[in-house]
Structure formats: C-alpha cells, structure tokens
Amino acid sequence: MIAINQVKIEIVFQGNKAVTVDEAALRKKASKLLGISDTQIAEIVILKHSIDARKKPQLFHVYTLGVCLKEKKQEEKTVKRCRNANITIYRENPYIFPQSGMKILPERPVIIGMGPAGLFCGYMLAKHGYKPIILERGYDVEKRTKAVEEFWESGTLDTESNVQFGEGGAGTFSDGKLNTLVKDKNGRNKEVLRIFVECGAPPEILYESKPHIGTDILKKVVANMRETILKNDGSVRFGAKVTGLEIENTKLTGVQINDTDVIKTNHAVLAIGHSARDTFEYLAHINISMEAKAFAVGMRVEHSQSLINENMYGSAYGNMLPAAPYKLTAKTSMGRGVYSFCMCPGGYVVNASSENKRLAVNGMSYSDRGSKNANSAIIVQVSPKDYGSDKPLAGVAFQRRLEEKAYALGNGKIPVQYYGDFVKNQTSVDREDYYRPCIKGGYQLANLRGLLPKECETAFLEGMEQFDKTIKGYAAEDTILSGIESRTSSPVRIHRNEDLQSPSVEGLYPCGEGAGYAGGITSAAMDGILVAEKIASQYQPFVDKIAVV
C-alpha cells in the first residue's frame, strides 16, 4: 500500500452544510498526486483525518490516504517516480500479544476494577485463555446508569455506583475522547481502538486525529467487551468490592470481597482508579509502598458552542461544522501551569461525586455532541507542596477539603457562578439575558471566590485573561463557572517495579490511572494491556483444577 500524507482538500459549503468528501473525490485527488489514472487504483482507505482551520475562512480536510494499486508491483515504482517525502510505502506496525510463558498459573488471575485498565487487561487475558476473574465494586452499566440518573435527578448518591464507580469505570459517563499523548511504539494504542471498533465503536475512530465516541456508544461497547470476556471463560462480579488482601511472606495468596468471601489467587491487578479513597486508605494501612502525587484542580468553564465554533472555524462557516474542540495552556507570573482539560464540545457539566457531602464536577457528552454549550475544566497544577503534609494520602485529604467546600457552597448542588461576578467577588443571580448552563445534576447560583486555594485562584484568573486573547469572549461576563474540578488524575502513585509488581507484595500489579500510571481512557487501557502482557509472558494459559466461582 502507498501512503500519501498531507492530502489537503478544501471544505466546500452548500446551503448551511459542509459537502461530504466521498471516495470518488479521494480517488481523484490521490491519482492526481501519484500521477496515475484513478482506474489503476484497486482500493483507497483513510489512514488519518483532521481539520485545518489555520487559514480561516478557508478550511481544509487533511488526510493521510492508503492507496492499493491493481498492479501491486507498480506501488514501489510509483513511489520512486514521485520523489515526494509525503508519498511512501505504508508499513503497518501490527500489535502482537506476547507468546505465553512456561510457568503454570496455580490460581486464576484476579482484576480489581472494571474501568478501561481492568477491562482491557481482562479482555486480553480472557482472549488468550487465562480465565481472569474481574471484581467491580459498582453495578453493571445498565443498572449503574439508573443509579447515576437517579443521583442527577434527586441528589441521592449511591457511593458504590456513580460517575466514578461501576462497569466501565470513570470513563463511561464521559465525552469518550480516545486520544492520548502516550507514545505507541508497540501498537497498543491502535489495538485499543481496534478492540473498541470490534466491540461496536464507529470505525472512524481508527483514523480521526481526535477520536471520540460519547457516553451513549461507550456504554454499549463496554457491555459488548464484558460479553466477549464471559464467552472466553472470564468471570465478572459486580457489587464486589475488594476490601482486603491475603499475603503470606510478602506473597499474595488471595483477595477478600465485601469484608467476607475470599478468592484464592497469586496475581491481582489493582486497577481501582483515582477515586477509590477507601481502598487507598486500606493499602496505606497495610504499608503498600505508595506516595502522594501531583495533579491539578480548577473549575469547569462553559461557553455557547457557537462562540467556540466561530473562534475555531471563523464566523463564515463556524456553525456549519461539528462542535469544535479547543486546547489552551498558559504559564502564570508565579510559574504555575494553567490549562484546559477534558474539553467536551456540545457537552454537559456533570456532578461526578462519589462521597456524601463532597462535591466534584467533570464533563461528558453524547456521540452527537449536540448540546448548546461547550465546556472544559480550567485547571491549575498542584503538588505535595500544596497538600500541607507529605503523607501518601495528603493529596486525597486536599481533594476532600475542596469538595466539602464546594458541597457547602451549593447546599449539596453544583455551585455555579458567572465569570463577571467571580471577578467582582459577588454571588450570581439569575439573568434572563445570559445563556443557561448545560448541567447533569442540580445546581445553585453561588460565589465561587475562595473555593480554590489562594494561589490557585490567582493562577486561574490570570489563565482566564490569557485565554481570552486566544478565544475572544472566553473570559466574558456571562461565561459560566462551576466547581470543583478535583478528580483530574490520581493524587497517589502506587509503586511498581520493572515486573510491574508492587515492591511490597509479589503478585500485586498496580495498574492504570488510580495507581498513577495513566491519565485518560486510552492510556489506562494501554496500561491494562501492558500488565496483561506481563502476566501472559510468564505463565501458560490457565488450566482449571476445580470450579472456583
């Protein structure tokens, strides 16, 4: 296959719609670039796609195309003749799961947590015959959805099944952005996307520069992955919180569930996510090696999606294209980083709390990104210096203090304020002339000044003013703030050695975001695959002695 990079096709508008670029148009463009007739092309595929809006009002699709010629041997010759760095022979970098090791697995491996890390670890181990047992404290995705909608409706929180906990993990009620900055030398990123497509996600995620599936599709994909794990002799238990580890001579021998049953195992993948504070406390209590880790805190910031589209695509065609994402970063005069995080075009601010009397927000969207508003967290870096203690769980305590303040400010609902009032340090009142927030969960107008630690608040204000230079109207009076964004990544790192095992307990594999080795759906899934590879490369697939579950 020939790969043609940087294929630019101008976006054409008819009426109030962008004209779709069809295969014929791609063939015509490719054959022109290769100096051949398009009848010589056997097949053409999109390998990459993005939108280039740097020369507004001219907007371009930018593709990397894969072209197979009817006469295969002509491909090398054509590439040579073109003498163009953007025209090369395409070399696939297939993902390969390692050969299984020789050692015998005495017990089935256990996976604690069914977020992206646990799910992909379980999927790979099941597919390769290791019969993993997945334990998830929350409910399955169907029942969990009911609990979350009930919470958003009535404010009644289920502390075991909510936006953070349950099948699919924290990412299930999300924008389902699947891009990651993690380098992908081994093809794990591609493999994650391939499995998402195999389990029902749209194939475009394989080539879009910013792949996204939205919460509605993600839920189906997660349920399909579960079915595949079960079909391959894996087991899944919901409402199964791991409350203890059985350890003999620093070796793992079992895990305890709900303070009662014990499952015998010598290998447990600890994929518990960034919000499993009770489990962090238990691990710290039994001296599992861990430390406090830097993360970031801030507030959700909302704008009308049309303001963002006009800024990103230009006023001419702004509202004729999909909801535009943005990414903003700034360094403040005090040297703190302030940046946009988990931006949700056409999305909702959500109450993402998991503990009573503590309130945290996050963002989500559906696959159509169809809400009127865009939102993103604007967050400020914090580190153990800010936590007031260097204890491993000092970051958790720091988060809890902020979330208790947010809960009080909104009387249990999401505290919301217009940016103009935030600057003036006054409580917001309802304004007919201002646009409304798009929020999942009850909210109350409030004054958010003093919610963030002083230095973070100063940095936030400075960042907003800087961002207003990049996106006009970003720091407008009617910009909507809601707080607190405190679960941006894990406040702890659970140490692991080169065998990916805890130095404290042989057979315990800290994994994913909660353990401090990932940030985001795809990178957590990649870390889950990495741990699955590590187990498989040591052991043969599991052979049953007796039925254990």
Ligand X SMILES: Cc1cc2nc3c(=O)[nH]c(=O)nc-3n(C[C@H](O)[C@H](O)[C@H](O)COP(=O)(O)OP(=O)(O)OC[C@H]3O[C@@H](n4cnc5c(N)ncnc54)[C@H](O)[C@@H]3O)c2cc1C
Interacting residue ranges for ligand X, rule: CB under 6 A: 112-118, 135-138, 163-166, 169-171, 173-177, 241-242, 271-274, 276, 279, 342, 350, 352, 362-364, 512-514, 518-522, 524
Least Cβ distance, residue 486 to ligand X (angstroms):
11
Least Cβ distance, residue 444 to ligand X (angstroms):
20
| Residues 353/157, Cβ–Cβ less than 8 Å | yes
Backbone angles phi, psi at 130, to 5 degrees: -100, 0
Which whole-number Å values give the CA distances from 167 to 100, 144, 191, 240, 329, in the listed order? 28, 8, 21, 11, 33
Least Cβ distance, residue 230 to ligand X (angstroms):
17
Closer CB to ligand X, 318 or 519, in the complex? 519
Which whole-number Å values give the CA distances from 110 to 339, 361, 524, in the listed order? 37, 31, 17
Closer CB to ligand X, 66 or 325, in the complex? 325
Least Cβ distance, residue 246 to ligand X (angstroms):
15
Separation of alpha carbons 105 and 536, rounded Å: 10
| Residues 151/162, Cβ–Cβ less than 8 Å | yes
Least Cβ distance, residue 282 to ligand X (angstroms):
8
Closer CB to ligand X, 384 or 516, in the complex? 516
Backbone angles phi, psi at 9, to 5 degrees: -125, 125
Least Cβ distance, residue 364 to ligand X (angstroms):
5
Separation of alpha carbons 512 and 519, rounded Å: 8
DSSP state of 177: B
Residue partners of 2: CB distance under 8 A and separation at least 6: 34, 66, 67, 68, 69, 75, 78, 79, 87, 88, 89, 90
Least Cβ distance, residue 236 to ligand X (angstroms):
11
∠ CA 96-99-105, nearest 5°, is 130
Closer CB to ligand X, 414 or 521, in the complex? 521
Cis amide linkage into residue 116, ω under 30° from 0? no
Least Cβ distance, residue 162 to ligand X (angstroms):
9
Residue partners of 405: CB distance under 8 A and separation at least 6: 450, 451, 484
Closer CB to ligand X, 325 or 384, in the complex? 325
Helices and strands (H, E) in the chain, number of each type: 13, 26
Across-strand partners of 364? 348
Residue partners of 480: CB distance under 8 A and separation at least 6: 301, 302, 303, 373, 416, 417, 418, 419, 434, 435, 437
Q: Which of 222, 190, 188, 233 is nearest to 97 (CA)?
A: 188
Inter-residue long-range contacts of 407-412, CB under 8 Å, 24+ positions, other chains counted: 407/353, 407/357, 407/358, 407/359, 409/446, 409/447, 409/448, 409/451, 409/483, 410/359, 410/443, 410/444, 410/446, 411/444, 412/155, 412/357, 412/359, 412/442
Backbone angles phi, psi at 318, to 5 degrees: -40, -45
Q: Is 549 exposed, middle or buried (0-12, 13-18, 19+ CB in 10 A)?
A: exposed
Closer CB to ligand X, 4 or 117, in the complex? 117
Residue partners of 402: CB distance under 8 A and separation at least 6: 297, 451, 452, 484, 486
Name residue, tokens 């996106």: 471
Separation of alpha carbons 528 and 505, rounded Å: 19
| Token pair of 213 as six digits | 């599936």
Least Cβ distance, residue 132 to ligand X (angstroms):
14
Closer CB to ligand X, 66 or 273, in the complex? 273
Closer CB to ligand X, 79 or 221, in the complex? 221
Q: Quick one: the chain helix, strand, coil %, rounded to 5?
A: 30, 25, 45
Closer CB to ligand X, 138 or 410, in the complex? 138
Least Cβ distance, residue 27 to ligand X (angstroms):
34
Q: Using only C-alpha atoms, what is the Rg of the chain?
A: 25
Least Cβ distance, residue 166 to ligand X (angstroms):
5
∠ CA 282-393-500, nearest 5°, is 70
Closer CB to ligand X, 362 or 375, in the complex? 362
Least Cβ distance, residue 382 to ligand X (angstroms):
18
Closer CB to ligand X, 410 or 528, in the complex? 528
Closer CB to ligand X, 134 or 461, in the complex? 134
Least Cβ distance, residue 226 to ligand X (angstroms):
12
DSSP state of 395: H
Closer CB to ligand X, 18 or 284, in the complex? 284
Least Cβ distance, residue 369 to ligand X (angstroms):
11
Closer CB to ligand X, 78 or 174, in the complex? 174
